[in-house]
Amino acid sequence: MTRRPAHRKTKTGFAAWRQGRRAEFWAVLYLRLKFYRIVARNLRLPAGEIDVVAKRGALLVFIEVKYRPQMAAARSSIRPRQWQRIEAAAGQFVGKRPALQLCRWRFDVLALARWRFPLHIKNAWRSRS
């Protein structure tokens, strides 16, 4: 059984955390079926968090997984500030791995909703740099 993290003491907080872990499991399975190689999951860096880092050829994809009861809510739940944190975390992640520094980057969203097929939104956000 998965242990409850110390920062998720409430029942609703734990349920949300567990639902997020379940959504990430399905997201990783879906990405593997699309021939992505999973490089990292649940990555926590000083600049921010990245749900899934996947690689396909010379393309490095940073994926934010969102689960909501309705697909429209899942698609629109990421704000620009969150994308900036993900980009900063991506820079830290790649900066420590010389083998990945020649890869192109892409920022995607994998939206999941109950009883719906996953929606993979490629290039959901583009870096200004």
The confidence score (pLDDT) of residue 87 equals 93
For 74-127, the pLDDT digits (tens) are 767 778 888 899 999 999 999 999 999 999 999 999 999 888 889 898 998 876
Beta sheet of 48-56, edge-to-edge order: 37-45, 48-56, 59-68, 104-113, 119-125
Domain boundaries, the chain: 11-125
> Which range among 36-45, 52-61, 76-85 shows the weakest confidence by mean pLDDT?
76-85
pTM of the model: 0.85
The confidence score (pLDDT) of residue 4 equals 54
d(CA 125, CA 128): 9
Three-class secondary structure assignment of the chain: CCCCCCCCCCHHHHHHHHHHHHHHHHHHHHHHHCCCEEEEEEEEECCEEEEEEEEECCEEEEEEEEEECCHHHHHCCCCHHHHHHHHHHHHHHHHCCHHHCCCEEEEEEEEEECCCCCEEEEEEECCCC
The confidence score (pLDDT) of residue 129 equals 44
State which fold the 11-125 domain adopts. Trna Endonuclease; Chain: A, domain 1 (3.40.1350)
Look at the alpha carbons of 63, 69, 71, 72 in this order and tell me if their dihedral is positive or negative. Answer: negative
